[in-house]
Structure 1
Amino acid sequence: MVTPGFPPNTLDSEGLPVWIRDLASDDPNHSLHFVRDMGPVRALEALRVDPTSIQRCVLPDRKPNRYTSLPGAAFGGVAGDAATLLAGRLGQWTFVYDDLGYTFEGSAEALSCGQRKAVTTVYTINGHASLHYAVDGEEIEEVVIDELSLEERLPGMPADLATAFEAAGIADWEDLEPGEVDSLIGMRVACAMAKAVLTLDDIRRIPLVMAQRNAGD
């Protein structure tokens, strides 16, 4: 893989950051957020979770089945209609992982309010992916991964986002045409922006909180 921002053993064979792979269910439909200078509980609140569901999280050793994420297992042990959101702070950045991808549209803007930066990316079970970058409540860049040409888009991107795309690189997928990017690049870009080049063991070492959100909330 040509992914300069990710050392060996930090990506799986498809190009997904290993800590995301280890959190996710099989065939995931999920989203990932990073926000700068906001704590995990406030980030969950900004994403409109059920406030009564916010609680400390200790990730279990394993998932109970292929349909349940590791945070979902921590919350209740079985897959259901409610998404489980896991949050933790990594230096100046807080991540929120949504195991069903319910939090996506408008999330970067909501998280970035108050002169913050935020990035949100989603990857669906059908392989569609996109990324939103927002500053101080305003979307600055929307990137539809399915339609992305780095050669055309990189020169016009904000410098920090362009740098993250360069660090994310392109996974070595056999079916990619020249100039195409893999659909997992958004997950790597979000991690590269926050310098979240981690393993699941790293995530287990930090304080974590979780909450649930229903579809349509």
Structure 2
Amino acid sequence: MLDSEGLPIWIHDLACEDSNHSLHFVKDIEPAQALEALRVEPGSIQPCVLPDKKPNPYTSLPGAAFANDTGSAATLLAGRVGEWTFVYDDLGYTSDGTANTLSTGGRMAITTVHSISGHASLHYAVDGEEAEEAIIEDFSLEERIPGMPAELAAAFEAAGIADWEDLEPGEVDSLIGMRVACALAGAVLTLDEVRRIPLLMAQRNTRD
């Protein structure tokens, strides 16, 4: 369920080319509540039917559903997969402190972001407190996994490392955070399966 670079295929199919994007999962919360927690524009939450294709390389599939090609707002797509709700942000605008925010109230949440420059990070939080932070450029699986919460360590083990020729021994690829988040939530999906989930979308202005 991965593309040729190691990105979960459903994220690849949602994203525009050369994406700056983020992905959040939070347990035991509804999609509308998750979007509200991320301070979306009032009244912008609405049902989403993803279009058949993207209109151009620079627009994500959720962005196309919102007819957003101005670059002035991030489009957030939310849906529920079992006990977990995901929120996909096509501009990666919702990243700082998001896991802490979503996990408030005794929940678990994970946020991962990947930029066009290859910068990537992952944040795991429980009940409003960060339990693990991973800056992927400086990350060592061998050093960090033993001290992780068991469920997150298992997700890292399941995610594995992409087969990139330029990786040094012990180095992880910058897409690992996306795979870890999906593994933690058990979100092994295709785009067709995502289309069958009741989806919500909203916009958040990047100038807010």
Relative to the length of structure 2, the TM-score reads: 0.99
1:206 Cα offset (Å): 0.7
Q: Which residue does the alignment assign to 1:130?
A: 121
From 19, 23, 37, the equivalent of 2:10 is 19
Structure 1 residues 108 and 201, CA gap change in structure 2 (3 angstroms): same
Partner residue, 2:172: 181
Any idea what SS the aligned residue of 1:131 has? strand
Within a 5 Å distance, the mapping from 1:193-204 to structure 2 comes to 193-204=184-195
- Larger CA deviation: 155-164 vs 79-88: 79-88
Alignment partner, residue 142 of structure 1: 133
Match of residue 83, structure 2, among 81, 92, 97: 92
Computed over aligned residues only, the root mean square deviation of the Cα atoms, in angstroms, reads 0.7
Q: How far off its partner does 1:155 sit?
A: 0.2
Residue 155 in 1 paired to residue 142 in 2? Answer: no
Out of 37, 40, 44, the residue aligned to residue 31 of structure 2 is 40
Q: Which runs of 5+ in 2 are unaligned?
A: none
User: Within 1, Cα distance between the matches of 2:17 and 2:98?
Assistant: 24
Report whether the alignment pairs 1:110 with 2:101: yes
How many Å apart are 1:57 and its aligned residue? 0.2
Work out whether 1:208 is the aligned partner of 2:199.
yes
Whether the 8 Å contact between 1:30 and 1:100 is mirrored in structure 2 is yes
**Secondary structure of 2:71's partner?**
coil
Contact kept in structure 2, 1:64 and 1:77, CA below 8 Å: no
In structure 1, what is the Cα distance between the partners aligned to 2:72 and 2:174? 25
Question: Does the 8 A contact of 1:44 with 1:87 survive in 2?
Answer: yes
Higher mean alpha-carbon deviation, 180-189 vs 207-216, is at 207-216
Return the offset for 1:214. 1.2
One-letter amino acid of the counterpart of residue 86, structure 2:
F
Contact 1:64 1:78 in 2 (8 A): no
Query: 2:181 is paired with a residue of what secondary structure?
Result: helix
- Whether the aligned pair in 2 keeps the contact of 1:132 and 1:139 (CA below 8 Å) is yes
CA shift for structure 1 position 41: 0.3
**Equivalents in 2 of 1:109, 1:122: separation in Å?**
15
Work out the percentage of aligned pairs sharing the same amino acid. 75
Q: Tell me if 1:75 matches 2:66.
A: yes
- In the alignment, is residue 121 of structure 1 matched against residue 118 of structure 2? no
Aligned equivalent of 1:7: none
**1:63 alignment partner, one of 38, 46, 54:** 54
Q: Aligned partners of 1:48, 1:36: CA distance in 2, in Å?
A: 18
1:149 Cα deviation from its structure 2 partner: 0.4
Q: Equivalents in 1 of 2:118, 2:169: separation in Å? A: 19
Counterpart secondary structure, 1:134: strand
Matching residue's letter, 1:45: E
Q: CA deviation at 1:51?
A: 2.5
Kept in 2, the 8 Å contact 1:68–1:79? The answer is no
